[in-house]
Structures are given as C-alpha cells and as structure tokens.
Amino acid sequence: MSHPQTAYAWFARSADAYGEDAVALEVDEERLTYAHLRDLAEALAARLVLAAGGIPPRRVGLLASRSVTAYAGYLAILRAGATVVPLNPEHPSARTAEIVKAAEVEVVLADTAGAGTEQGVPVLTVGPDELADLSKGPAPELPYPATGPDDIAYIIFTSGSTGTPKGVPISHRNIATYLAQVAPRYDIAPGSRLSQSFELTFDGSVHDLFVAWAGGGTLVVPRRSQLLSPVKTVNSLRLTHWFSVPSLISFASRLGTLKPGSMPTLRWSVFGGEPLTLDAARQWRAAAPGSRLEVLYGPTELTISCTAYLFPDDPAKWPDTPNGTAPIGAGYPVLDLVLIDEDGRPSDSGELCVRGPLRFPGYLDPANNAGRFLDPDGRPGGDGPLTDRHWYRTGDRVAVRDGHLVHLGRTDHQVKIRGHRIELGEIEAMVRQQPGVRDAVVLAVPASDGEPELHAAVSGDGCTSDGLFAALAERLPPYMLPRRIAVLDQLPLNANGKIDRRALLDDLGRSR
C-alpha cells in the first residue's frame, strides 16, 4: 500500500475517508470534524495567499498556541504549498524577530495571543471572530500546489552553541517516511483521543498532529495549566493516547494522583524528549494498567524520533540498565545506525550516528553543518555537500546493553530541560554580551525534585544578578532562563587554567 508523500496529504486522506463522521480537533468546547477542519484550512490558505500579495508564500511564520487558529493554520500553510515556521507567542519578541529573519518568513499567521506584534513582514491575525466568518461560506478555490517530497514541510529552530538559534528544515519526504513507520503502531481510528501536549515550536507536536490525523483520531488540546495535572487531564478529556516528556510524571507523582488504576481510559502512553527513569515508568504503568508503554528517542534533525523501545506488558520482564533509565530501544528499519568510539571506530559504545530517509537535509545556515556529519565511510570531514549517505552525529553517548540501545549522556554541553534541547553555549554567549561581564558559565544542576535546572556563574564588574535576569528575559525564552545567577569575582580554574566546571557544579549544587 502506497503512503501519502506530503504532510498535508496524510491529513487529506483521512478527511476524504471520514468527512463529517469523525472529529479531527477538540480545543476546549470547540469540536471540528475532518470536513470542517479541511474547509477551514482551505479558507485560511486562500487568506494567506491574499495576505502575501496574491502570490503563494514560500515560508510562513505561525505565531499561535493551543488555539483553533494554531492547528487549522498549520494545515493551511501546508495547503498553500508553504513551509511552516512555528513561533511561540510567549517567547521574547526579539528572538522571534531573529527567527523570522533567519527563516526568510514572508508572512506571519497569528492568533489573538500573537496579535499586535511587529515582525517586519505582513501579519495576518485570525481570532475566533475571523474563524467564524471563514466558516460561514464555501472556501475560495485555491489551486493545489506542486509540493514534492523534497520540499521543506517545516523548520524548527533549536538552541545553538554560537548564541544564535539553528534552523532545522524537515522535508515532506522526512515526515512522510516517519508517519509510515510510526503512525500504524498505535491502533488509531475514529474515537481515539490523542493528547497534544507539546508546543508547536517543539517537534514532538508534529507527532501529535499527524499521527492523530493519519488514523482518523481526535487531536485533543489541553490547556497549558492542565498539563501540570496529567491524571486529572487524562480522565477529564477521556484520552486514549498520551505523549509527553517524562518530567510530567513527576508532577503527577508530587500531586499524589498517580495511584494504581487511576487512568483507566489510556491504551497507549508514549514518552520522549528526555530520559524516562524506570521508577517513573513503573508508577505510570501502575496508574494506567491497560496502557502499552513506549519510549521514543531522536533529535529534531532525525524527524522527531529514530528509535523506539516498547516495554514488555509484564513489568517483571522489564530490563535493568546501568543508569536506571529506560532503553531507547532499536532504530527504525529504514535507518542505518552506528556507534563511534573516541577514535572514530565502530563500537558497542560511543556516539550514535544515523543516516537514512529521516535524516534532515542539513541546517538552514550551512555553516552549522560543520562538525555535525561523517562522510559515507564514517570518517570525519563530512562538511562539504551533503548526500543521503552522510551520517548525522547526534552528540549522544549510547551503548548496547542486552540487545537494546541505552542512552548514557552527551558528548558536549547540550542538555535537556523539561524536554527542551538547550545548548549551554547559547546562554553563555548571551550572558557574555551583557555590560560588565568578563566570563560566564551555565550548568544544569539537579533541583530538589531530581529534575535539572539551569544555574549561571558570572565573573564581572558592575553587573548584578537582577540586572542580568532582566536582560536575558528580553532575549531568551522562559525555558532557557537560569533559575539562579551567581556573580563572582573570579570563576574557578583547574590545573590547566581552564574554567573548572566540576568545581562550579559542586558549589552551585551545595548552595541551592
């Protein structure tokens, strides 16, 4: 059976099949059938073309969150033949403007949360009133674009070590191949109710949207506040499928709601974005005994996930791992995976490198490709023109244990905070730009609940913690802001004269 070749075609196939007979989207009290959502996307696509001057835009910013505009808008951008560039209304406007410029966005589609922003390009604001008007009449005729598998479906901007966000373009071939691998495994059909926990600027959201729509399920959008009470949310929204970062399990545990049998509606529970501890997995499984439990692993550059580990139904058969976290499992059959040791040789423990049809075509700024690829023979120097045979270096240390891949940490200073990928170097570069700062180090320090949080240590003259907090808040999204900034006369140095990160980590951890 052939699969759709573009992201929009996956949705359109279900819209053809289910029409008015299945609900595609539920946001608060609003429920849109597949037919209604498609009509809305068609009408919005026509409005986008008009806002862009009558010529279909190439790239469109989507400045919207957890609204009908956000999800209909995502489809509308694809229907217009454009690339989706997700933007977060809660992020500082300076950072959003930087992304709009880097992505060469031609028009921005915003909901009321993103209204009134100045991005240097036309902004089409579509709130509830505008949506109601669009729903009243037939959608204008819009020619189908000649979108091909190698065209870019979306661009996610991730943290960059140089101080500038990195654009990761994902092609329609990438996402169509991903859906063909992943969507069938979750038994989704009309009546399935899937959580939408991730913001659109996080690529896990693409899994939420299109895995739901590929099978005729309902994408159910919790309010952000509801996500902090997962058990209550699962039950009140009657969810059958859950996908989130593992740290939400700790929220449920601290609330005392994660009790045995407390989530009877769940059939599938999927976690990704950060390691899942085996202890947290046991708590969740006991609370949702009728749910299958799976871990997905993969950086944005490999189209959401590239490996999966499905827990055995019998907890007695669950594995033990050296670090107490769930395995990341095995790679998808369409991919090649290899572990490279410090000498660049294949090994059963080392940096995970991947190639295949889920690998992105290279960063939006080709300068960011340097050092991130191996040539087709697995050797360094893959920084020239990329081919399908080049290996992407994930930067993750992985080992084979009992036939499964186990994640052991990073080879660099990248960390995950609540599922967000953060280059500590980006925050450090931003801190060093502030007046009076001589040098800065940012570290991930375990908080009281065991989850990591960001702390910064700064050496400088005339700078204060409060002043630095205020300056960073204007340039960094909330998840990248340090929880604590310590201003020191001098950062500690090791015997080689380098900043002693280990000593700082010990000091910051003790002084929490």
The mean of the pLDDT values for the chain is: 90
- pLDDT tens digits, residue range 28-71? 999 999 999 999 999 999 999 988 888 999 999 999 999 999 99
Higher pLDDT residue, 154 or 496? 154
Rounded Cα distance, 454 and 222, in Å: 27
Please list the residues that pair with 458 across neighbouring strands: 440, 487
Q: Which two tokens stand for residue 108?
A: 């921005």
Cα-based angle 82, 88, 90 (whole degrees, multiple of 5): 160
Element housing 12 (H / E): helix 7-18
Query: Quick one: pLDDT band at residue 510, thresholds 50, 70, 90?
Result: low
Model pLDDT, residue 207:
97
Rounded Cα distance, 391 and 328, in Å: 19
- pLDDT tens digits, residue range 194-228? 999 999 999 999 999 999 999 999 999 999 999 98
CA distances from 457 to 107, 210, 308, 444 (A): 40, 42, 37, 11
Burial class (CB in 10 A: 0-12, 13-18, 19+), 35: middle
Model pLDDT, residue 419:
67
Burial class (CB in 10 A: 0-12, 13-18, 19+), 42: buried
Q: Which two tokens stand for residue 199?
A: 């913001």
- pLDDT tens digits, residue range 233-267? 999 999 999 999 888 888 888 889 999 999 999 99
Model pLDDT, residue 509:
60
> What mean pLDDT is predicted for residues 117-122?
82
- pLDDT tens digits, residue range 338-366? 999 888 889 998 999 999 999 999 999 99
Spell out the domains of the chain, with CATH numbers in brackets. 336-410 (2.30.38.10), 414-510 (3.30.300.30)
Rounded Cα distance, 98 and 100, in Å: 6
Helix axes 68-79, 7-18, angle to 10 degrees: 110
Three-class secondary structure assignment of 164-182: CCEEEEEEHHHHHHHHHHH
> What mean pLDDT is predicted for residues 86-106?
93
Higher pLDDT residue, 461 or 99? 99
- pLDDT tens digits, residue range 403-415? 899 988 777 766 7
Query: Quick one: pLDDT band at residue 436, thresholds 50, 70, 90?
Result: confident
pTM (two decimals): 0.85
